[in-house]
Amino acid sequence: MYAIIRTGGKQYHVATGDRLRVEKIQGNVGDTVELADVLMVVDGEEAKIGQPVVDGAKVIAKIAEQGRAKKVVVFKKKRRKGYRVKRGHRQSYTALTIEDISA
């Protein structure tokens, strides 16, 4: 059994026991999160496709980690003008462990 969920503006293919990194979700490590934006649920040969979400379907996940990704360096330069800008960015993320998929 697997599902397609939407969180943080992205879509993820998840199954029970999977661990994935998503955009930051509020909560502490060990908290349970219910993801209700389920776009599709597949159980063997039976597939339920939402319009846009499947009614009554939800994915239960546990927060495994709250962290920040590696730094991405953004460097801008215009030749012969003396213009140079160097900036860095670290995106916050939440690591989830999928516990249950219910349709």
Contact 57, 46 (CB under 8 A): no
The DSSP call for residue 71 is -
pLDDT surpassing 90 at residue 103: no
pTM attached to this predicted model? 0.86
Average pLDDT over residues 43-69: 95
Share of the chain above pLDDT 70, in %: 100
Q: Domain span at residue 96?
A: 2-102
Average pLDDT over residues 72-98: 98
pLDDT surpassing 90 at residue 47: yes
Between CA 33 and CA 64, with CA 8 as vertex, the angle to 5 degrees is 40
Q: How far is residue 50's CA from residue 54's CA, in Å, rounded to a whole number?
A: 4
For residues 11-27, b (16+ Cβ closer than 10 Å) or e, as one string?
A: ebebeeeeebebeebee
Domain total for the chain? Answer: 1
